[in-house]
Amino acid sequence: MKKLFILLLAVCALGLSQPVHAQKFVLIDMEYILKNIPAFERANEQLNQISRKWQAEVEALNAEAKQLYKTYQAEAVFLSAEQKQEREGNIVSKEKEAADLKKKYFGPQGELFKKRESLMAPINDEIYTAVKDICENKGYSLVLDRASDAGIIFASPKIDISSEVLQKMGYGQ
């Protein structure tokens, strides 16, 4: 028991002799930063144009499928069983083609996702580099994004370095 007590005292003494460093926390507002980067606005506009174009292609295929179905309904009484089956197959094929195209363009790993990644990656890398440089120069330990974290109830504007990040990137006032 006496050895355990001496060991505990030694550990406590070592712990108290080490300097205590306060952690420095800061915030950034990614929405504010991104709104002030012209390349982000251009990338968003480019993505919107591509999205509209691809959506029009998908809608055109859906419209073709609907037209095939309307024609089929109007002529169904005059068609033989084989003709009905063929027309139904064409309709299903056109609907599947539209669904596949929509998945190709707008799916979780679709073309729009890939395009967004390729356009936004350089911007995000530039922001990350600026934040990292500021943190290394000023000794910040943790950076939180106030725009994306609903867990932040209140944060003093004094610890928000968003403007400093924009200045570091060359977009500040």
DSSP assignment of 18-69 equals: SPP----EEEE-HHHHHHT-HHHHHHHHHHHHHHHHHHHHHHHHHHHHHHHH
- 169 touches 130 (CB < 8 A): yes
At 69-112, the pLDDT tens digits run 999 999 989 989 999 999 999 999 999 999 999 999 999 999 99
Choose among 63, 56, 126: nearest CA to 94.
Answer: 63
Lowest mean pLDDT among 13-17, 25-29, 62-66, 114-118: 13-17
Confidence (pLDDT) at 47: 96
The answer to whether residue 1 is domain-embedded is no
Residue 11 lies in a domain: no
**Residue 5 resides in a domain:** no
How many domains does the chain fold into? Answer: 1
Domain containing 163 equals: 17-169
Q: Read off the pTM.
A: 0.70
pLDDT digits (tens, 9 = 90+) for 137-171: 988 888 888 887 666 767 777 788 888 888 888 88
Residue 145 host element (H or E):
strand 142-145
